[in-house]
Amino acid sequence: MSGDVTLAGRKLAQVGLYCRDLERARLFYRDMLGLPLLFEAGNMLFFRLEGLRLMVGLAGRPEQTVGGSIIYFEAPDIDAVGAALEEKGVKFLGPALTVQQTQTHELKLREFLDPDGNALALMGMVPKAG
């Protein structure tokens, strides 16, 4: 039976990343990005996303490195969300880039970093103009 058990079809429940300064991470994710803080446990913060939790933990062991992954936030209204985050002090690495096009939509990405250099991005499937 154990040979048949896989992770295919299972829901992704939580994503985690590490930071160097927990209070700075709290201010960034809660106040700048507006993510609701669910709870704290030890040196970890847990934020609520739609259908998923984000754990931000204080890096304390050598294997707990900062960076190396990218987290994408769904934002079909990518321009409006980007402008609102810029008003709160988020610094984007550049303008939104179109990475895919269909007949009716464009997939756009806009990347930014958290205070520890973890890569984050807005990702939106935007209807084509005209």
> Hunting for tokens 């709160």 — which residue is that?
88
CATH code at 37? 3.10.180.10
Q: Which of 29, 14, 26, 22 is nearest to 43 (CA)?
A: 22
pLDDT of 39 above 80: yes
pLDDT of 89 above 90: yes
Percent of the chain predicted with pLDDT > 70: 98
- Spatial separation of the C-alpha atoms in residues 103 and 97, rounded to whole Å: 17
How does 24-45 read in b/e, with b if 16+ C-beta sit within 10 Å? ebbebbeeebebeeeeeeeeeb
- pLDDT at residue 3 in the model: 66
96-109 pLDDT, tens digit per residue, is 999 999 999 999 99
* CA-to-CA dists, residue 65 to 6, 73, 76, 107, angstroms: 27, 21, 31, 30
Percent of the chain predicted with pLDDT > 90: 80
Residues belonging to the chain: 130
Q: Which residues pair with 108 in a beta bridge?
A: 98, 124
pLDDT category at 22 given cuts 50, 70, 90 is very high
Q: Quick one: average pLDDT of 67-88?
A: 92
Range of the domain at 106: 2-127
> Hunting for tokens 């007949």 — which residue is that?
103
Q: Quick one: average pLDDT of 72-97?
A: 95
Query: What's the number of domains the chain is made of?
Result: 1
- Spatial separation of the C-alpha atoms in residues 3 and 111, rounded to whole Å: 40
- Spatial separation of the C-alpha atoms in residues 57 and 64, rounded to whole Å: 9
